[in-house]
Amino acid sequence: MERIKKVTKDIPVIDREITKKTQEKLDNLTKPLGSLGRLEELAKQICGITGKVSPSLENKVIFTFAADHGVTDEGVSAYPKEVTAQMVYNFLRGGAGINVLARHVGAKVIVVDIGVAEDLKPDPRLIIRKIGYGTKNMAKRAAMIREEAVKAIETGIEIFNQELKNGIDIIGIGEMGIGNTTAASAIAASFTGKPVEEVAGRGTGLDDSGLKNKIEVIKKSLFVNKPDSTDPIDVLSKVGGFEIAGLTGIILAAAVNKVPIVIDGFISGAAALVAFKIEPRVKEYMIAAHKSQEGGHKIILEHIGLRPLLDLDLRLGEGTGGALGIGLADAAIKILTQMATFKSAGVSEKKE
Amino acid sequence: MERIKKVTKDIPVIDREITKKTQEKLDNLTKPLGSLGRLEELAKQICGITGKVSPSLENKVIFTFAADHGVTDEGVSAYPKEVTAQMVYNFLRGGAGINVLARHVGAKVIVVDIGVAEDLKPDPRLIIRKIGYGTKNMAKRAAMIREEAVKAIETGIEIFNQELKNGIDIIGIGEMGIGNTTAASAIAASFTGKPVEEVAGRGTGLDDSGLKNKIEVIKKSLFVNKPDSTDPIDVLSKVGGFEIAGLTGIILAAAVNKVPIVIDGFISGAAALVAFKIEPRVKEYMIAAHKSQEGGHKIILEHIGLRPLLDLDLRLGEGTGGALGIGLADAAIKILTQMATFKSAGVSEKKE
């Protein structure tokens, strides 16, 4: 916990002077003032985070954390639990959605087993840092003990710091874990106070009766555990997941290292919400890539105060929407650093 | 006109069998059914257009047409008229927004002078096919005579066919022309019947009095010319522009050659609207990249029945939003062609 406190305390304040300089630079480029809209906002945010007026986004990294959830015993997912491990192998072979979209935007995918329920075959491309073999069934008891949640966050911080040695200019966060929209829903309900019916969705494809059961299971989990919304680690440990905790650590470590963080969908959003509750300043380091089809995602983003860039009805997770968000961030920085100025191009400025 | 009629008549019907096969292929990929939302829709649309279940989008081309507008005499733009020519030189040097974003998505930019008011220096990268030295002031008389509008459309068709020899798998359309949001607004008002106040916006940055004047000028242009909304060429010639007409030709030529067309902002939208009025079937070949900050753009897209992919408050034109749309189309096709199937990856399918 000391490590988390230290990292949290050290997150720097955004450099407003750099943001201002970036605005001036943008206003000299050959385009009507502000005409690239949110791309310009994005460029300013990234410059403010990194403290550079010409930042490089060469090293793009997506952290995809995988873990299992004991709550799948309650029949909350349309897919069987073993899919978590199967999809990790798919990530390692490069055949999943996240692999395709990460390649599309030139990002590296770091796959982490932070709590898959089975022992995975060793692979040089897989980081195995299990906190446990899946969480406990939160409908019956706490998903984790407090020490596990802390350890999972610290593991995220360590993994970020390890990868930082290879260079990281921007990150996306993603996840895989059958049952994890149930955990994300419980986290969202705990922190935002919204009814479970509003934060829970169909996940990978539940039918009406499946959704009804999922809502009951989430309500039961909240009743059994009574997470304390003023204590983020309490919420995370009681109704969270190992991958959500690990990504919370990634977010905190990225912020302290002035690295922009692109949030993916609902589960990544839940990790963002936990990080925001631990330290609200982390919000300024976050870029919301898209608005998921899971209704709870919108509630989380509004609660933190983030406006998503894309609205493509995505609900896959893994970091896929985050990859597309990284592509837009890249475009924004290229605009800032590659466009000609009115002066250099000999273009007349706006009439007075 | 015979050429336009021939092209229009030959636009093929979308291949629904291919669309169905694409859906089956998507449903076998390692992701919950439909979980990549609009990317999946986009992949299906592109397959339907091209008639291929594994289309290539290797050759991406953005056509950026430039022309001047006589209506700038009425003070409808925040920028002086000479900016049109200056920006063409900027395009040729690679310093404009469209150059940066086209490079970002791997697209080639074809710059066409279809009616800039001054003689541009010859450049091997510039296609000079002037219909005139800018249009006439539509607040006083028709912007073009009917034969000019027809010639501009046919010129667009010819330019597309010429470039087709180098290979074209997908196109974006863009434009440059000081004063052209005024023309686009007049076109939108003519075809949709919406009040000028709703379709006209601040363009490159008019203040309140500038916007008021622009609205008056558009109203006057419609009153003076009385464009016949049942005759697309009449509307185009009376209150359009050479670049808008040229892009209309590009759209028709792309459709007849089964090439997906990514529409950029308000002016590209006006060209799309003219093409749609000439032949409604062309709609199925169109992909709306984004929703511009110019209110008239939304009205045009809704009138045609297109849902924009992005909402980034862009209002630059040139094809910039279209470039980002091409990037998403590329991502969609990579999903379709590069992801593993449940069978190949050994991943369990959804529970029955």
A 283-322 residues with CB < 8 A to B: 293, 309-316, 320
Burial A150-171 (b: 16+ CB within 10 A, else e): bbbbbbbbbbbeebeeeebbbb
> What is the DSSP-derived secondary structure letter of residue A121?
P
Smallest CA-to-CA distance from B319 within B261, B279, B276 is with B261
What does the pLDDT read at residue A351?
Answer: 84
> Domain check: are B279 and B130 in the same one?
yes
> What CATH code is carried by the domain that includes residue A44?
1.10.1610.10
> What is the DSSP-derived secondary structure letter of residue B28?
T
B 49-108 residues with CB < 8 A to A: 78-80, 82-83, 86-87, 89-90, 93, 95-97, 99-101, 103-104
What does the pLDDT read at residue B139?
Answer: 98
Q: How far apart are the CA of A147 and the nearest CA of chain B, in angstroms? A: 33
Angle at B45 between CA B40 and CA B49, to 5 degrees: 150
What does the pLDDT read at residue A38?
Answer: 98
> Domain check: are A23 and A138 in the same one?
no
Q: Is pLDDT above 80 for A352?
A: no
Which of the four pLDDT bands, split at 50, 70 and 90, describes residue B137? very high
What does the pLDDT read at residue A333?
Answer: 98
A352 occurs within a structural domain: no
> Domain check: are A30 and A167 in the same one?
no
A350 occurs within a structural domain: no
Q: Is pLDDT above 80 for A194?
A: yes
Q: How far apart are the CA of B17 and the nearest CA of chain A, in angstroms? A: 25
Q: Which residues of B touch A309 (CB under 8 A)?
A: 312
The CA-to-CA distance between both ends of chain B, in Å, stands at 58
> Domain check: are A29 and A101 in the same one?
no
- Do residues B326 and B172 lie in contact, with contact meaning Cβ atoms separated by under 8 Å? yes
The residue type at A60:
K
pLDDT, tens digit, 9 for 90 and up, residues A204-225: 999 999 999 999 999 999 999 9
Count Cβ atoms below 10 Å from residue A295 Cβ, excluding itself. Answer: 18
Q: Which two tokens stand for residue B278?
A: 């000439």
Check CB contact of B175 with chain A, cutoff 8 Å: no
Report the pLDDT averaged over residues B327-340.
98
Which of the four pLDDT bands, split at 50, 70 and 90, describes residue A231? very high
> What CATH code is carried by the domain that includes residue B124?
3.40.50.10210
> Domain check: are B67 and B49 in the same one?
no
Q: Is pLDDT above 90 for B230?
A: yes
pLDDT, tens digit, 9 for 90 and up, residues A69-104: 999 999 999 999 999 999 999 999 999 999 999 999
Which residues of A participate in catalysis according to the annotation?
318
B351 occurs within a structural domain: no
Q: Which residues of B touch A203 (CB under 8 A)?
A: 32
The residue type at A244:
I
Q: Say whether B326 sits in a helix, a strand or coil.
A: helix
What CA–CA distance (Å, rounded) separates B60 from B350? 37
What CA–CA distance (Å, rounded) separates A198 from A298? 10
What is the helix, strand, coil percentage profile of chain B, to 5?
55, 10, 35
Smallest CA-to-CA distance from A245 within A273, A217, A220, A226 is with A273
Inter-chain touch B90–A345, beta carbons under 8 Å: yes
> Domain check: are A185 and A282 in the same one?
yes
Inter-chain touch B348–A100, beta carbons under 8 Å: no
Gyration radius of chain A over CA positions: 20
- Do residues A214 and A182 lie in contact, with contact meaning Cβ atoms separated by under 8 Å? yes
The residue type at A56:
S
Inter-chain touch B344–A309, beta carbons under 8 Å: no
What does the pLDDT read at residue A1?
Answer: 87
Which of the four pLDDT bands, split at 50, 70 and 90, describes residue B13? very high
> Residue B200 — left, alpha, or beta (φ > 0 → left; ψ -120 to 50 → alpha)?
beta
Q: Is pLDDT above 80 for B82?
A: yes
Pick the residue with more confidence: B351 or B334?
B334
B48 occurs within a structural domain: yes
Cβ neighbours of residue A295 closer than 8 Å, sequence gap 6 or more: A198, A199, A200, A201
> Domain check: are B231 and B277 in the same one?
yes
Q: Which residues of B touch A72 (CB under 8 A)?
A: none
Which of A36, A101, A205 lies closest to B350 in CB terms?
A205
Catalytic residue from among B17, B40, B318, B352: B318
Report the pLDDT averaged over residues B275-289.
98
pLDDT, tens digit, 9 for 90 and up, residues B177-207: 999 999 999 999 999 999 999 999 999 999 9
What CA–CA distance (Å, rounded) separates B31 from A314? 11
Count Cβ atoms below 10 Å from residue A195 Cβ, excluding itself. Answer: 11
Give the count of domains, chain A.
Answer: 2
Q: Which residues of B touch A82 (CB under 8 A)?
A: 348
What does the pLDDT read at residue B346?
Answer: 95
Which of B37, B95, B312 lies closest to A345 in CB terms?
B95
- Do residues A54 and A344 lie in contact, with contact meaning Cβ atoms separated by under 8 Å? no
> What is the DSSP-derived secondary structure letter of residue A170?
E
Q: Is pLDDT above 90 for B274?
A: yes
Smallest CA-to-CA distance from B177 within B108, B244, B100 is with B244
Which of the four pLDDT bands, split at 50, 70 and 90, describes residue B247? very high
> Domain check: are B73 and B36 in the same one?
no
What does the pLDDT read at residue B281?
Answer: 97
What CA–CA distance (Å, rounded) separates A300 from B82? 48
Q: Which segment of A214-218, A301-305, B343-347, B348-352 scores lowest on mean pLDDT?
A: B348-352
> Domain check: are B131 and B249 in the same one?
yes
Q: Is pLDDT above 80 for B352?
A: no
> What share of chain A has pLDDT > 90, as a percent?
98
Which of B87, B93, B347 lies closest to A86 in CB terms?
B347
Report the pLDDT averaged over residues B19-46.
97
> Domain check: are B15 and B72 in the same one?
no
Count of alpha carbons within 13 Å of B350, Cβ hemisphere only? 19
Q: Which residues of B touch A330 (CB under 8 A)?
A: 104
Backbone angles phi, psi at A39, to 5 degrees: -65, -35
Smallest CA-to-CA distance from A329 within A99, A89, A107 is with A107
B352 occurs within a structural domain: no
Residues of the domain holding A46: 2-55+336-345
Q: Which two tokens stand for residue A337?
A: 């650093």
B350 occurs within a structural domain: no
User: Look-up: residue for tokens 């929407």?
Assistant: A321
Inter-chain touch A90–B340, beta carbons under 8 Å: yes
Check CB contact of B120 with chain A, cutoff 8 Å: no
B26 occurs within a structural domain: yes
**C-alpha B149, offset from chain centre:** 17
Inter-chain touch A351–B204, beta carbons under 8 Å: no
A351 occurs within a structural domain: no
Inter-chain touch B104–A33, beta carbons under 8 Å: no
Backbone angles phi, psi at A128, to 5 degrees: -105, 110
B 247-266 residues with CB < 8 A to A: none
Q: Which residues of B touch A297 (CB under 8 A)?
A: none
Which of A32, A39, A80 lies closest to B312 in CB terms?
A39
Which of A32, A312, A345 lies closest to B38 in CB terms?
A312
Q: In the sheet that B107-115 helps form, which strands lie side by side, from edge to edge? A: B126-128, B107-115, B60-67, B170-176, B261-263, B286-288
Which of B36, B99, B347 lies closest to A83 in CB terms?
B347
What does the pLDDT read at residue B268?
Answer: 98
Smallest CA-to-CA distance from B151 within B131, B167, B173 is with B131
Cβ neighbours of residue A231 closer than 8 Å, sequence gap 6 or more: none
What CA–CA distance (Å, rounded) separates A247 from A271? 6
Identify the residue among A27, A28, A29, A36 best suited for mutation to test binding to B, counting B beta carbons within 10 A and taking the highest: A36
Inter-chain touch A36–B97, beta carbons under 8 Å: yes
User: Look-up: residue for tokens 């912007």?
Assistant: B143
Active site residue B216: no
> Domain check: are B108 and B160 in the same one?
yes
Report the pLDDT averaged over residues A254-283.
98
Report the pLDDT averaged over residues B294-311.
97
> What share of chain B has pLDDT > 90, as a percent?
98
The CA-to-CA distance between both ends of chain A, in Å, stands at 58
What does the pLDDT read at residue A115?
Answer: 98
Which alpha helices (H) appear in B180-284, and where do they start and end?
A: 180-192, 196-199, 208-225, 232-239, 242-256, 266-278
- Do residues B253 and B176 lie in contact, with contact meaning Cβ atoms separated by under 8 Å? no
Report the pLDDT averaged over residues A154-173.
98
**C-alpha B93, offset from chain centre:** 23
A–B interface: beta-carbon pairs under 8 A: 187
Report the pLDDT averaged over residues B53-62.
97
Report the pLDDT averaged over residues B220-229.
98
Which of the four pLDDT bands, split at 50, 70 and 90, describes residue B1? confident
Identify the residue among A28, A31, A74 best suited for mutation to test binding to B, counting B beta carbons within 10 A and taking the highest: A31
> Between the CA atoms of A200, A206, A210 and A215, what dihedral angle is there, to the nearest 10 degrees?
0
What does the pLDDT read at residue A274?
Answer: 98
Check CB contact of B346 with chain A, cutoff 8 Å: yes
> Domain check: are A51 and A66 in the same one?
no
